[in-house]
Chain A
């Protein structure tokens, strides 16, 4: 058994920041990650990091912009903690050598971004995430923090008390991809999930192939509720053929969107009379698809993003990476012609329910970054807010797990934070098929840490052996393709009750088929067939959770649009959609949104740009 004080699962931005923080507290910390850290998808973030650094700006303004952007579904304690700490985190990165783009006076540059009342987005060209990831990995190397790279965590080692709030997470089980060893990992201080996105639940996504929602799926099955899963951000500017992201920085620098008739539709069609292209992402994505649906798209599929008028010098200085992406992945020269773009799945606002200290309702289990939901993005995340979020809350989770007292959290977690239960009318029953499909068998017996880990290792060894020894069955790639297809078709930018129900049925069928899945590759050496098969199970669980949340939320808020309910219903819906696995029979309930900040209460206002 491997033993450390703190285990961080995932080596992207949130994981690296958490590991550094726990290390600062003197903890023996290790990162367990299915990719080498520099391969993580934080590296693909392009645009920037929002922080109120200048005298003319204030954290209060940043907090307000974020709350408004969230369409009043963000929790004030999370948002205020975030906005206050973001500047320190950016300066931290600068002190760690991050190659930020600079002003003439040598200070860190900032640019305008959608939904911001001040140009507070710091950046490093159009490859901010790459520089941030590498800068933090360098600091991990400097501190000698242990990294188990290409180890795939497939299960959390949680005690089996009936009530999730009594459960304790003692570690995890991981599979060494290169050798096939299944190892038990014990954490005496805490386990921090930092597994990133879940975009692979969709087939048109900016997310990496590795973004399979492992963290939310594992935490959910272990008993942690998942929160606001229906809140999926569709980025308005992705390349049509691959889903590769074209940064909001292009519009921040002055890039213009045109429809097939050459209209600057954001203004001319009145989608956002003030902000135009720089309206919030959900607004721009809906506008684009509306244009396409009305026959004003190009090739019935996309619109144009034009940056030619910015001039070669400015483009090369600030957006050079965009030229490479457009050229390499769409064969378009951004200096000579407009770039084709359409909305693509980009970010999950929802995720593992945590408080401001990164704690879940299971003792010793934390989550941070995209896989977590504090919640600060609510119904819509502002561009440039994901990177500072993973810094602020990655650090807090790391400090807390490492033993620092961060004060009591104001956000409640777990079943005890429930305000009302919900019954959703689903066409098929969601959740587990049959017995033995749970990650925690709640009989209240297993409490000794070594025994708990030993038990989970045994279960995992059995699962892997079964998958490898089966001679015939269903190829996971078929099941995964079915899930991705139905999600993109039915749980997209525009959602209706019928479509959502259809998706639930398709997901149920996928789950049934998954019962017969097998791994063709019999090898214990670098068996990616096995890893993808386990990931596909996670995708089924997160896809179902997203769809259930979307069906329950009968209103239009932020990224979540419903055909039958086209207005924001503040009287009824200023609450979080919560879903607990409930040992295989998912249960939906709600938790109130906290709009009371430290010194003021955020009053919901109409969100216009």
Chain B
């Protein structure tokens, strides 16, 4: 009898307790599982399981950290998966091996222009560069460096101030001579004219072109392909009017403007948005000549 009663009590107790004790047991398990999450360990397992792995050799520099004040290269071993980009490989290395590995990135889809890098000796967007498209990607080491000809702030991050200054030097804003009056009145733009400026409006300010340009490397005041392309975008927009176009041509015709370009096409080759930069620069040269003839 007494035993039976005792058993019942225990059962009842277990039931009332069960919800909260189950809860705390589950929480404890979760805590343990979470604390076991070790990304370095995860990387070891993933590398073992991966069909293929790659090696990336990354430029490192930090002016205020011992051991990094002198530039060096660090090599990271990363499991390869189909569709992997250079940016994916960098993120993997950072999150799994060394959280101090520093590079700019945001959108992951080639629109924010943050991650122009020097990959195997070419300016490319990290997020748009498939590892599989790099030659010998599985056999050799992929070399990732900051954009050349720009001051390195840290690791793969370069100082963009000069690039931004050049962009802003061409008065990069729409400025119509006059606007239509009346409620909801829009300016008309021919489809053809919109098509003409279309490619030039695709610039994402990544700086790859400027970094690839020999002229810009030698002449710090050269406006550079991106800024001239920006000037082209407005000079060719029929909505702006002749007076403004005149001013724009004056800007790009200056000593460090379009005439510096020696049509080496390096900017056009590296542009991740396929903007025909060299053609745009050439066309502005022709416009400038035509314009000068007009005033003779």
Task: List residues of A whose CB falls within 8 A of some B CB.
Answer: 35-36, 38-41, 43-44, 53, 87-88, 91, 94-97, 99-108, 124-125, 127, 130-131, 134-135, 138-139, 141-142, 178, 208-210, 241-245, 324-325, 328-331, 427-428, 475-478, 481-482, 505-506, 508-510, 512-513, 519-529, 532
Contacts and interface: CB of A to CB of B under 8 A. Distances in A.
A505 B99 contact: no
Contacts of B27: 428, 505, 508-509
A532 to B, nearest CB: 8
Given A95-B176, A100-B189, A525-B62, 17 more contacts: A38-B112, A41-B112, A44-B109, A97-B239, A99-B197, A101-B194, A103-B191, A208-B108, A242-B108, A245-B109, A330-B83, A476-B99, A478-B37, A512-B31, A525-B153, A528-B102, A529-B100
Contacts of B110: 324, 328
A97 B234 contact: yes
A331 B83 contact: yes
Contacts of B35: 513
Contacts of B176: 95, 97
Contacts of B205: 36, 38
A510 B157 CA distance: 30
Contacts of B31: 509, 512
Contact of A329 (B34, B83, B99): B83
Contacts of A127: 111, 202
A477 B130 CA distance: 24
Contact of A97 (B62, B113, B171, B237): B237
- Between A178, A210, A525, the greatest number of chain B beta carbons within 10 A of the residue's beta carbon is seen for A525
A244 B108 contact: yes
Contacts of A428: 23, 27
B108 A135 contact: no
Interface in B213-228: none
Nearest to B37: A478
A99 B194 contact: yes
Contacts of B197: 99
A445 to B, nearest CB: 37
Given A41-B107, A99-B197, A102-B191, A91 B239 contact: no
Contacts of B50: none
Interface in B182-208: 184-191, 194, 197-198, 201-202, 204-205
The majority secondary structure among interface residues of chain B is loop
Given A105-B188, A482-B37, A142 B173 contact: yes
Interface string B209-247: 000000000000000000000000010010110000000
Given A38-B205, A244-B108, A107 B234 contact: no
A242 B109 contact: yes
B112 A91 contact: no
B1 interface: no
B289 interface: no
Nearest to A38: B205
B194 to A, nearest CB: 5
B128 A482 contact: no
Contacts, number: 188
Contacts of A324: 110
A475 B99 contact: yes
A526 B100 contact: no
A524 B37 contact: no
B168 A141 contact: yes
Interface string B39-75: 1000000000000000000000011110000000000
Interface residues of B, number: 68
A39 B185 CA distance: 31
A474 to B, nearest CB: 8
Contact of A142 (B83, B95, B111, B175): B175
11 contacts: A44-B107, A102-B191, A108-B186, A127-B111, A141-B172, A328-B128, A428-B23, A478-B37, A522-B65, A523-B62, A525-B63
Contact of A521 (B99, B103, B160, B187): B99
B141 to A, nearest CB: 24
Interface string B3-43: 00000000000000000000100110011001101110000
Q: Which of B106, B175, B205, B237 has the most CB of A within 10 A?
A: B106
- Which 9 A-B pairs have CB atoms at the shortest separation, nearest pair first? A97-B174, A106-B188, A521-B100, A138-B173, A142-B173, A477-B95, A39-B112, A208-B106, A526-B154
Which one of B155, B175, B201 has the highest number of Cβ atoms from chain A below 10 Å of its Cβ?
B201
A139 B50 CA distance: 49
A482 B38 CA distance: 11
A44 B38 CA distance: 33
A271 to B, nearest CB: 28
Contact of B188 (A107, A508, A519, A532): A107
A138 B174 contact: yes
B112 A208 contact: yes
A523 B111 contact: no
Contact of B39 (A208, A244, A477): A477
Contact of A44 (B64, B112, B237): B112
Contact of B111 (A43, A210, A330, A520): A43
A523 B112 contact: no
Contacts of A104: 191
Interface string B132-165: 0000000000000000000001110100100010
Q: Which of A104, A139, A475, A510 has the most CB of B within 10 A?
A: A475
B38 A523 contact: no
A107 B194 CA distance: 11
Contacts of B204: 38, 43, 130
A523 to B, nearest CB: 5
Give the residue among B31, B105, B172, B184 with the most A Cβ atoms within 10 A.
B184
B255 to A, nearest CB: 23
Nearest to B155: A526
A128 to B, nearest CB: 11
A360 B125 CA distance: 40
A124 B113 CA distance: 19
Contacts of A328: 110, 128, 130
Nearest to B125: A328
B150 to A, nearest CB: 14
A35 B194 contact: no
Among B112, B113, B187, B194, max chain A CB count under 10 A is at: B112
Given A330-B83, A475-B39, A53 B184 contact: yes
B106 A39 contact: yes
A245 B107 CA distance: 11
A510 B201 contact: no
B114 interface: yes
Contact of B194 (A53, A102, A525): A102
B296 to A, nearest CB: 31
A523 B107 contact: no
A528 B106 CA distance: 12
